[in-house]
Structure 1
Amino acid sequence: MIEILKDPGVLALPQLDPATLRMDGVALGSPAAGVPRHRITEAQSSVVARYRGGDDIDSEYHDADGRRLTLDEVIDHTVGADGFLYCAEELTYKVRAGLVVGFAVYGAPLARFAHLTSYEELLAAFGTPDRVREEGSYGDFEGYGLYYWGARKHVKWDASHRRVTLINVGDFEGNAGP
């Protein structure tokens, strides 16, 4: 198994086999209960009907009846069902039916790719994607989403900051093809 936090360069491989990856010791397909609980800072699950949070706001979770949920309750539900587990290290685990089915890496862990300062350098490092999607909001071009279907990988390129801002691997929308 390849630990992507110890060797993030492996994420650039266009023919990456997701079944060989671990993130912080947790392999794709393994039980979500194995995600280091002390690192989880937020969670998203269907038990949450209303969420409030942000950079300077403590997260609040409420169920459909308006009862406030603790983070531990939301984590417990997520690891046994579907959702996302967010860690302070800018790592996210996608969970389905209690199993980890995807990893997302963003922010500081992507420093390994900081030397890529042009879209052309990105393509040279990661290879030709199976699909490229222009991304933007309100009609403004912001960058590209590159999809590598064999590797079940998505790489997001921020054109204005000229950097990789997200890499996700596994069962995320678009990663397995059209």
Structure 2
Amino acid sequence: MVEILDNLDALSQPRLDLATVEMGGTALGAPAATIPRRIIIKAQSSIVARYRGGTDINSEYYNADGRRLTLAEVVDHAAQSDGFLYCADKLTYKIRAGAVVGFAIYGPHLSHFAHLTSYEDLLAVFGTPDRAHEDEAYGDLMGHDNYYWGAQKHVRWDARDNRISLIDLGAFEGNTGP
């Protein structure tokens, strides 16, 4: 198994066998219940009908009847069904049918790629994507979304900060082609 947090250069490979990849000791395809609960700080699941949270606001979860849910209840539901489990160290696990089907990496882990200071640098290291999308707002270029189908990977380039802001692997929209 390739632990991507110990080998971030593996993320630049145009082809990546996701059956051989793990993040934080959890492999793609593993039961979501194997993700250590102590690292999860937030969760998203269909059991949540209303959510309140944000910067400097503790997360609050409510079901369809208005009953407040604990984080543990939301994590348990997501881990047994579908959802997302968010970790304090800017890692996210995507869950489907109780199994880990995707990883997202953002924040300080991506400082590994800080030497890439232009979109052209990104292309030189990661290669030409199978699909690229320019994200614009009010006529300003906000970033580039690059999809590499051979690695089931999405790399987000932030054009304002000139850096990679997100890399996700696995069953995320756009990662497997048309």
Q: Normalized against structure 1, the TM-score is what?
A: 0.98
Shift of 1:139: 4.0
Aligned to 2:47: 47
Deviations 1:70-117 (A, max 9, x none): 000000100000000000000000000000000000010111100000
Alignment of 1:63-142 (within 5 A): 63-142=63-142
Other structure's SS at 2:42 match: strand
Partner letter of residue 49 of structure 1?
A
CA distance in 2, matches of 1:16, 1:120: 22
Structure 1 gap ranges (5+):
none
Shift of 1:135: 1.1
Aligned to 1:38: 38
Deviations 1:54-79 (A, max 9, x none): 11100000000000000000001000
RMSD: 0.8
Deviations 1:18-59 (A, max 9, x none): 111100000000100011110000000000000000111000
What percentage of aligned pairs have identical amino acids? 64
Aligned to 2:168: 168
Other structure's SS at 1:86 match: strand
Partner letter of residue 21 of structure 2?
L
Other structure's SS at 1:76 match: helix
Deviations 1:102-140 (A, max 9, x none): 000001011110000011110010011100001133443
Quick check: 1:177 aligned with 2:173?
no
CA distance in 1, matches of 2:14, 2:22: 17
CA distance in 1, matches of 2:25, 2:121: 30
Structure 2 gap ranges (5+):
none
Q: Normalized against structure 2, the TM-score is what?
A: 0.98
